Amino acid sequence: MDLIDLRSDTVTKPTSEMLAAMAAAEVGDDVFGEDPTVKKLEETAARIMGKEACLLVTSGTMGNLVAVLTHTKKGEEVLLESESHIYYYEVGGLSALAGAMPRLVQGQRGRITPQGLADAVRPGNIHFPSPSLLCLENTHNRGGGTVSTPSEMHEVIALARQLGLRIHLDGARIFNAALAAGVRVSALAEGCDSVMFCLSKGLGAPVGSLLAGSREFINSARKWRKMVGGGMRQSGVIAAAGLVALETMTERLAEDHANAKFLAAGLANIPKLTLDADLVQTNIVVVELGQELGGADDFLTRLKAEGVLATNFGPHSVRFVTHKDVNRQGVDYALQVIARMVR
């Protein structure tokens, strides 16, 4: 039997329509600005995000790094949530490569509130680095796939503006967020100077993320992308799959959300596991393991032996992510395995 791989939505394989589009893509050298398929993807994505321009990057990590490089100067302070992806999972690139000084904001399940931001920003003083950028994340991965609504975002953005900050949105899963909030992605990107989103997660494309913003921002970001080695040549091959992802894969995310809710409801009924199924909003389910189950690594090893994969999300917590390549039957199988294991 195939493994039920719930480690991440990044494990999704390209669809046959994507593979056909990749094979047929019209390409050129994109560093010379000559790849028509990349141009089409960048224009399409900019329109969807409600921004002037867009840039194809190799990964979400590169998109976030290029955004920080473009928005900030060395030594400036970047405010971001204490468990944000940029801070937690991107190898410290914002410090190591962009020379930025992170200052952490305490969020509520990853969501930054105006109060949290106000508490984190210090008044101007000769001792302090100058704050210049606020990074938001929607959906918030470590928060458990939590969604910020446009009005929640706008309250924080309004305060950030008063404080003179620029705003970058890590929207790796912005289509999941928009679907759950019942709004267009452009409503979530509104007010942000830049937004990054991934084609290679729930949308199923093999490679690629996009960074959107003003034309001036993207012109500058294009040079930073070149500097960090992200200038690609016949990248229309990748972009072709990205276009299919945007056309065909955004609405079906509802299925992933329904499967996550089903999984969460099932897990909540299993003794020794703790989670609030009502808090599951998108395709991420995080569960706390009772002490008697041993640690997360041990639990995951036993789960793998039964053909189910998930990820370590802390010493006693495990993350499951639903996606197009695991159907309801697969999720149900995972639930049965876990119920048996825990008993």
Ligand X SMILES: *Cc1c(COP(=O)(O)O)cnc(C)c1O
Residue 89 is classified by DSSP as: S
Nearer to ligand X, 63 or 266 (CB): 63
Q: Which of 38, 49, 53, 85 binds ligand X (CB under 6 A)?
A: 85
Q: Considering the rule CB under 6 A, would residue 185 count as an interface residue with ligand X?
A: no
Q: Answer whether 178's CB lies under 8 Å from 187's CB.
A: yes
Q: How many residues bind ligand X (CB under 6 A)?
A: 12
Q: Which residues of 41-53 are buried (b: 16+ CB within 10 A; e: fewer)?
A: bbebbbebbbbeb
Q: Least Å distance between CB 32 and ligand X?
A: 25
- C-alpha to C-alpha distance for 68 and 106, rounded to whole angstroms: 20
Identify which range of 54-62, 71-79, 145-153, 225-233 contacts ligand X by CB under 6 A. 54-62
Q: Which stretch binds ligand X (CB under 6 A): 33-41, 60-68, 256-264, 307-315?
A: 60-68
Residues 256, 9: contact at Cβ < 8 Å? yes
> Of residues 60, 107, 144, 145, which one binds ligand X by CB under 6 A?
60
CA-atom Rg of the chain in angstroms: 20
User: Is residue 342 within 8 Å of residue 27, measured between CB atoms?
Assistant: no
Nearest to 6 by CA among 273, 341, 313, 315: 313
Surface-to-core class of residue 6, CB atoms within 10 Å of its CB (0-12 exposed, 13-18 middle, 19+ buried): buried
Which of 239, 273 has the CB closer to ligand X? 239
Minimum CB distance to ligand X, residue 332 (Å): 26
Decide whether 147 or 172 has the Cβ nearer to ligand X: 172
Interacting residue with ligand X among 14, 45, 46, 61 (CB under 6 A):
61
| Residue 5 vs 170, nearer CB to ligand X | 170
- Does 172 participate in binding ligand X (rule CB under 6 A)? yes
Look at the chain and count its residues: 343
Beta bridge partners of 321: 284
Sheet holding 194-198, edge to edge: 53-57, 209-213, 194-198, 166-170, 131-137, 77-81, 101-105
Q: Does 137 bind ligand X (CB under 6 A)?
A: yes
Which residue number, 14 or 266, has a Cβ lying nearer to ligand X? Answer: 14
| C-beta closer to ligand X: residue 37 or 200 | 200
Q: Which stretch binds ligand X (CB under 6 A): 58-66, 114-122, 127-135, 143-151?
A: 58-66
Backbone angles phi, psi at 328, to 5 degrees: -55, -40
Closest residue to ligand X, Cβ-based?
Answer: 60
Report whether 213 contacts 41 (CB < 8 A).
no
Which residue, 170 or 193, is less far from ligand X as judged by CB?
Answer: 170
Name the residue among 169, 103, 181 with its Cα closest to residue 138.
169
Contact 131, 165 (CB under 8 A): yes
The CB-of-141 to ligand X minimum distance in angstroms stands at 4
Which span (44-52, 56-64, 210-218, 240-248) binds ligand X, by CB under 6 A? 56-64
Kindly identify the residues of this chain, within the stretch 205-264, that bind ligand X according to CB under 6 A. 209
Q: Which of 30, 77, 83, 170 is close enough to bind ligand X by CB under 6 A?
A: 170
Nearer to ligand X, 209 or 259 (CB): 209
- Where along the sequence are the contacts to ligand X (CB under 6 A)? 59-61, 64, 85, 137, 141, 170, 172, 198, 200, 209
